[in-house]
Amino acid sequence: MSTHNPSLDQDHVALLMDRVESSADAIAKAVKRTLLSPRFYTTDHAAMDRIDVSPVRAEWDAMMKEYEGDNNHDHFQRDAAFAEEVRTLMPQLSPEMRQEFLDFLISSLTSEFSGCVLYNEIRKNISNPDIKQLMAYMARDESRHAGFLNQSLKDFDLGIDLGNLKRTKHYTYFKPKYIFYATYLSEKIGYARYITIFRHLERHPDKRFHPIFRWFERWCNDEFRHGESFALMMRAQPQLLSGLNKLWIRFFILAVYATMYVRDHGRPLLHEAMGMDTTTYDMQVLRVTNEICRQVFPVELDIEHPAFKQGLDRLCAISQAHALAKARGGLWGKLQALGHAARGVLAFAGLYLRPVKTQALPEKIRCEPVW
Ligand SMILES: [Fe+2]
Ligand SMILES: [Fe+2]
């Protein structure tokens, strides 16, 4: 099973030096730019305006009806039982566990809000009615998700001012095609993560240490549908899924998979508290994501090959060593951090160059959230 020791070792203590004790710390953590933290994006609005969904019109219209039906409109409300669980369960968290849970809430909030900002900006800057309507629906959903997470941060008196986050966070420019690959993947992996946690806690309700996990089932159906929207937009532009673009697809799949794996292994207590082994959980999430992605990507990473997991474990070890060297500081610390960064690039390249599986795309694009 896992090669990672889930107990709190010295390395892990060092990684927790970035503690959140106040609202200012929470916003600083959300704004902070690291390789692993969620980013905010901008893109080419004129290119977004030109997208023609007519090749997938029937499936598109069916999807838009689902958005219009808005079956989660009443879902993101906290009830009395939620407040009661927070009141009794949160004081039981150890200080280290509290930090990991806050890290989880802040990074989840940042990525939900990142979607909200991106979709809203696209909506405001285009006139294409199909895409504009879609962006409005997705921004609506992500704003609910971010708001719901923020309420749980407020229970700790650590609510984040989202207007401030929007103004101060750095924005990365991505061409539309990179937005499609990256956002499709993050919506689908988001679904896979939420549903895997939800199903696990369904079987082990005694491990559900916070009520928010009870909300994940209906929540992740929104993420699934957002992913479906990007699948349809990509299938409407087949050039994005063929030729040299397959190399970009491989790159984005690996970047998204590796980021999740390394980040999750930086907070082992969270998974331990839920009674999950981090590696087993992550591999399950990757399996589900790989299966879903067959609707749109002609290439698939061979995640079951032992060398794949070895490569990810190497990236985790390098990332820990890098963080420790940075924390140590000084010229020697900086040099060591550079050395680890170079080793990280090599380990990533090794994974990138591994053979991939190829597949023909299915005629019916949409798939169902059956996991
Ligand atoms: Fe979301
Ligand atoms: Fe989403």
Identify the residue with better confidence: 242 or 36.
242
Task: Please say if the pLDDT value at position 371 is more than 50.
Answer: yes
> For residue 191, how far is its CA from the centre of ligand 1 (angstroms)?
9
Task: Please say if the pLDDT value at position 4 is more than 80.
Answer: no
**H helices within the chain, ranges in order?**
10-15, 23-31, 45-49, 57-69, 80-89, 95-125, 129-154, 162-168, 176-203, 216-235, 245-265, 268-273, 278-293, 306-328, 330-352
CATH fold of 11-305+354-358, please?
A: Ribonucleotide Reductase, subunit A (1.10.620)
Average pLDDT over residues 147-169: 95
DSSP 3-state assignment of 308?
helix
150 and 26 Cβ atoms separated by less than 8 Å? no
240 and 61 Cβ atoms separated by less than 8 Å? no
Please report which ligand is nearest the Cα atom of 224: 2
> For residue 115, how far is its CA from the centre of ligand 2 (angstroms)?
6
Can you give the pLDDT at residue 1? 38
Structure tokens at 146: 């971010």
56 and 365 Cβ atoms separated by less than 8 Å? yes
Instruction: Tell me how crowded residue 10 is: count the other CB atoms within 10 A of its CB.
Output: 8
> For residue 114, how far is its CA from the centre of ligand 1 (angstroms)?
9
Question: pTM to 2 decimals?
Answer: 0.93
> For residue 187, how far is its CA from the centre of ligand 1 (angstroms)?
7
Q: What is the residue extent of each domain of the chain?
A: 11-305+354-358
As a whole number, the mean pLDDT across the chain is 93
Q: What tens digit of pLDDT does each residue of 275-328 get?
A: 999 999 999 999 999 999 999 999 999 999 999 999 999 999 999 999 999 999
Q: What tens digit of pLDDT does each residue of 23-57 get?
A: 888 988 889 888 888 899 999 999 999 999 999 99
Using pLDDT thresholds of 50, 70 and 90, give the confidence band for residue 13. very low
Task: Please say if the pLDDT value at position 17 is more than 60.
Answer: no
Please report which ligand is nearest the Cα atom of 228: 2
Q: Which residues have CB under 8 Å from 4's CB, separation 6+?
A: 265, 268, 278, 279, 313, 316
Q: What tens digit of pLDDT does each residue of 204-232 get?
A: 999 999 999 999 999 999 999 999 999 99
Q: What tens digit of pLDDT does each residue of 96-146 get?
A: 999 999 999 999 999 999 999 999 999 999 999 999 999 999 999 999 999
> For residue 76, how far is its CA from the centre of ligand 2 (angstroms)?
14
Q: Which residues surround ligand 1, an ion (CB under 5 A)?
A: 112, 142, 145
> For residue 188, how far is its CA from the centre of ligand 2 (angstroms)?
8
> For residue 190, how far is its CA from the centre of ligand 2 (angstroms)?
7
Task: Please say if the pLDDT value at position 2 is more than 80.
Answer: no
CA distance 15 to 265: 11
* Range with the poorest average pLDDT among 86-100, 187-201, 230-244: 86-100
249 and 181 Cβ atoms separated by less than 8 Å? yes
